[in-house]
A and B are shown apart, each in its own frame.
Chain A
Amino acid sequence: MLKLEKRPQPSQLWIYLTPLIAVLATMAAGSVLFAFLGKDPVVAIRTIFWDPLFSEFAFYYRPQLLVKGAPLVLIAIGLSLGFRAGIWNIGAEGQYIIGALTGAGVGLAFYPLDAWFVFPLMVIAGALGGWAWAMIPALLKVRFGTNEILVSLMLVYVAEQLLASMSLGLMKNPEGRGFPGSRNLQHYESAHNAELITGTGMHWGVVAAFIAVITAYVLLNRHILGYHIRLTGQAPRAARFAGVVPARLVLFCLGTAGALAGLAGMFEVAGPAGQVSIDFNVGYGFTAIIVAFLGRLHPVGILLAGALLALTYIGGEIAQSQLGLPAAAIQLFQGMLLFFLLAIDVMTNYRLAWQRREVA
């Protein structure tokens, strides 16, 4: 009989092996799915994972990797701090939207003023917007013990309605001939989050994502606060014994995650997206949850996982246009990834053991 047996020590090997196996398993299951949809699985997998990087038109797709990866990494880094401490912010999508609204709001308010300080102010406003939106579940949790999972998620729906209201009302482009959506910030130089090096996809959001990765790495490995975050997640009672004040940690983790998500939204709205519109958000806030877990809540892992998930977005779009693969198939594909990861992760702390048949 096959039984699970707890390992005396978590397996270092499996910590690294799990995400790799999960990706491979997802590719295998994905192939079955694509075959089921009537597509050649080999072609589909190649289109998603190979073509964006190495095909004839890769020069066009490669920059997209940074454009799509940056918000995922930024948000996932923030989420991972909370996840490590057992604080579950799953409303990053809402914080992303609010960050975009406050960031764009500041930019639009200054229109058409041409000044160097407009963009920095937008960055601050975006971070503050996301931070404030995340402080709602944080304060409710600290003050009343309200479940942050449900509150942060409810606020996503509220944020989506706010976004709709803004793009139809307050922020609507007065010169937009009645179409919903704000002015395009790409055409307002002081507010535009432009490519820093043409043709690379590198914009300020990408820079911010790299800074976030490095900062998170130092924080988690070398700083007492990061130690307290890990301690709280693994043994909450021991953390209180060590002197951690749980409320402060909730405020810090949720606040940081909100600010980073807000930044991601702001960089997106001022750069690649260009304008506030009803369908501005595309689910980065939720995909970032997958990125955080796939990266094992480790900053460097998140960087790699963010790149991989960005690849599935880009490859998915190519597969959509070239093979007619439905967009939902890619969504499902991403969902499967998390599934396999969680399932295989059991091997880190447990091992399979053959147990002898019991003696009667």
Chain B
Amino acid sequence: MTGTLLSIDGLTKAYPGVIANDDVSFDIREGEVHALLGENGAGKSTLVKMIYGLVKPDEGHMRLNGSPYAPAAPHAARASGVAMVFQHFSLFEALDVAENIALGMESPPPMRDLAKRIREVSELYGLPLDPTRTVGELSAGERQRVEIIRCLLQEPRLLIMDEPTSVLTPQEVEILFETLRKLRDEGVAILYISHKLEEIRALCDHATILRLGKKVATCTPSETTARELAEMMVGSTLQSPESAPHAAGDVVLELDRLSVASPSQFGTSLRDLSLELRMGEVLGIGGVAGNGQDELLAALSGEIRSAKGALRLKGRDIGPLGPIARRRMGLLSAPEERLGHAAAPDMSLTENAMLTGAQREGLVRHGLLQWGKARSFAEAIIERFDVRTPGAGTVARALSGGNLQKFVIGREVMQRPEVLIVNQPTWGVDASAAAAIRQALLDLASQGAAVLVISQDLDELMEISDRFGALNEGRLSEIRPARGLSVEEVGLMMGGAHGMEVAHV
């Protein structure tokens, strides 16, 4: 470990209505893994976008290796030896691996040489990858490899990784960590963004913690407990959701070898899913992104119809029924994507309350809309779920992620579902909103409803589920009681390392 590689001094960036970064300063040294820790909305993404040249700071400056560093664009950052792996990959599904990598390089060699170098580098770092495959066909873990190798080919001095493990199984995380440690030993500095505390404690040498755009602390994660880290991140002690004791009741929803084809080209089709969902229980479905979660939600909500007999609600075959009919029968759902799927971005909350509430809340009579009733319904959701908004007339996209998510979940919960299906209920949501949503789901179950939670956040599933299963390439693992499952067992249920070779490093 030697000197300082990147020194950040007083960076400030304001957007209309929010200060994303407020006078942030810290140093990253050569050969260290430096964690950037913070809640959603704490300003982590804005900060790394400034380092990577995608966003220009309003104030403050950076120094790289002692000389001033102000990248005007990502290619300038790359030329200075700064590389970045994005959380939502910057990949092109219709192009192949080599083309994707070439696009991220300043002066790529001819394609044939590039393919050879991809093979070499990927072998060297224990991340095998075939340069001729189309990216759309790769798993989430493999896609991340494409991004990492794209960075490594440029021999970076600073590698930025934005939430890299959110798409990996525990086994895959281990492989990634091996690679990152090897890079660190070669002197590469890694800026590691995450909100997963245990990972940071296992991997990182130093941590900078952001809250509401400000740096609130620096620490050495291995010497700090996860609880201390969490309190620094959130700024207060958090209440764990409480589950009132309840017994699982009768089976309400039954999947019998459910198979549906994915409607999108690079989607994952569901194959032979069987499970029984009981009243009063929370069933958690884990799995890495892109293993059929969206398809499962769509098949259950009714957006995708399924074959006769594959899907039964309270004994009735609902496979051929659409979302409206299923809602009438008490099966409600909340998809992952808030803007554009669960809610229409440019419509008001009143109009969005109409979106799923039309039938069960009696907001439509003889085809005519009862806007007054819809407004009261929206206001009731806002009130009960503490949605921070000027009023029911606000358009959905003006709400923060957490507030809109509370509205979306609240809209379904308030309709007294008998079965509720949610996908990624707390994705991109701040900690207090996440806690409120989890509590609402648990309360619903304790009142006798059946709740199916699809999520990629294993901690969340372990916290609220009674039983747990995992989706892997469109298939469902065995369903087991959640209590007492070890991380290794959960990882194996999710498909282990997905046949990806383990790093030989």
Q: Judge whether A38 is part of the interface by a CB distance below 8 angstroms.
A: no
Q: Which residue of B lies closest to A8 (CB)?
A: B398
The stretch from B122-130, B215-223, B227-235, B351-359 touching chain A is B351-359
Residues 357-386 of B, flagged 1 when their CB comes within 8 A of A and 0 if not, give: 010000010011101000000000000000
The answer for the CA separation of A223 and B368 in the assembled complex, in Å, is: 4
B367 touches A241 (CB 8 A): no
Is there contact, CB below 8 Å, between B367 and A223?
yes
Q: Which residues of A contact B70 (CB under 8 A)?
A: 360
Residues A238 and B355 in contact, CB atoms below 8 Å apart: yes
Indicate which residue in B61, B344, B397 contacts A238 across the interface (CB closer than 8 Å).
Answer: B344
For residue B397, which residues in chain A have a CB less than 8 angstroms away from its CB?
8
Q: What's the least CB distance linking A219 to chain B, in Å?
A: 10
Q: Select B303's contact among A224, A231, A235, A241, beta carbons within 8 Å.
A: A241
Write the nearest CB–CB distance from B373 to chain A, whole angstroms: 13
Of B158-166, B193-201, B321-329, B467-475, the segment with at least 4 beta carbons within 8 Å of chain A is B321-329
Contact yes or no, B59 A243, CB < 8 A: no
Residues of B within 8 A of A9 (CB): 394-395, 398
Query: What separation, in Å, do the CA atoms of A312 and B367 have in the docked complex?
Result: 39
Is A58's beta carbon under 8 Å from chain B? no
Output the residue of A234, A239, A241, A353 with the most chain B CB within 10 A: A241
Bound-complex Cα distance A10 to B393 (A): 12
Is there a chain B Cβ closer than 8 Å to A225's Cβ? Answer: yes
CB-based nearest B residue for A232: B344
Instruction: Count chain A residues whose beta carbon lies closer than 8 angstroms to a beta carbon of B.
Output: 26
Report A-chain residues with C-beta under 8 Å of the C-beta of B312.
Answer: none
CB-CB under 8 A from B327, the residues of chain A are 243
Interface pair A10/B395, CB less than 8 Å apart? yes
Give a binary string over A348-360; 1 marks a CB under 8 Å from any B CB, 0 the rest.
Answer: 0000010010111
Instruction: Check if A227 sits within 8 Å of B16, measured CB to CB.
Output: no
A237 within 8 A of B: yes
Closest Cβ–Cβ distance, residue A96 to chain B (whole Å) = 29
Q: Does A46 contact B (CB under 8 A)?
A: no
Let me know if A245 and B322 touch, CB within 8 A.
yes
A10-22 contact mask (Cβ, 8 Å, vs B): 1 or 0: 1000000000000
Residue of A nearest to B364 (CB): A224
Q: Are A241 and B358 in contact (CB under 8 A)?
A: no
Q: Taking A240-B303, A243-B302 as contacts, is the C-beta distance between A222 and B345 under 8 angstroms?
A: no
Complex Cα distance A65/B364, Å?
A: 39
**A5 interface contact, C-beta 8 A:** yes
In the complex, what residues of A have CB within 8 A of residue B491's CB? none
For B323, give its contact among A225, A234, A242 (CB under 8 Å): A242
Which residues of B sit under 8 angstroms from A241, Cβ to Cβ?
A: 301, 303, 323, 335, 341-342, 355-356
Closest to B371 in A: A222
Question: Known: A9-B398, A224-B367, A238-B344. Is A358-B56 also a contact (CB below 8 A)?
Answer: yes
A222–B398 CB distance below 8 A? no
- Contacting pair A359 B369 (CB below 8 A): no
Task: List the B side residues contacting A353 at CB < 8 Å.
Answer: 16
Interface centre among A10, A223, A225, A359, by most B CB within 10 Å?
Answer: A359
Instruction: With both chains docked as a complex, state the minimum distance between the C-beta of B409 and any C-beta of chain A, in angstroms.
Output: 14
Known: A224-B368, A359-B60. 15 other contacts (CB 8 A): A223-B367, A231-B344, A235-B339, A235-B341, A237-B337, A238-B355, A241-B341, A242-B355, A242-B356, A242-B358, A353-B16, A358-B56, A358-B58, A359-B56, A360-B68
Pairs A–B under 8 Å by Cβ, sample size 24: A9-B394, A222-B371, A224-B367, A224-B369, A227-B369, A231-B344, A234-B344, A235-B343, A235-B344, A235-B347, A238-B342, A238-B344, A238-B355, A239-B344, A240-B303, A240-B323, A242-B324, A242-B355, A243-B302, A243-B324, A353-B16, A358-B58, A360-B61, A360-B68
A: residues with CB less than 8 A from B are: 5, 8-10, 222-225, 227, 230-231, 234-235, 237-243, 245, 353, 356, 358-360
Instruction: Write the residues of chain B forming the contact surface with A, with a CB cutoff of 8 angstroms.
Output: 16-17, 56-61, 68, 70, 301-303, 322-324, 327, 335, 337, 339-347, 351, 354-356, 358, 364, 367-369, 371, 394-395, 397-398
Q: Which 10 A-B pairs have the closest CB atoms?
A: A243-B324, A235-B344, A243-B323, A358-B56, A8-B398, A237-B341, A238-B344, A242-B355, A235-B340, A234-B344
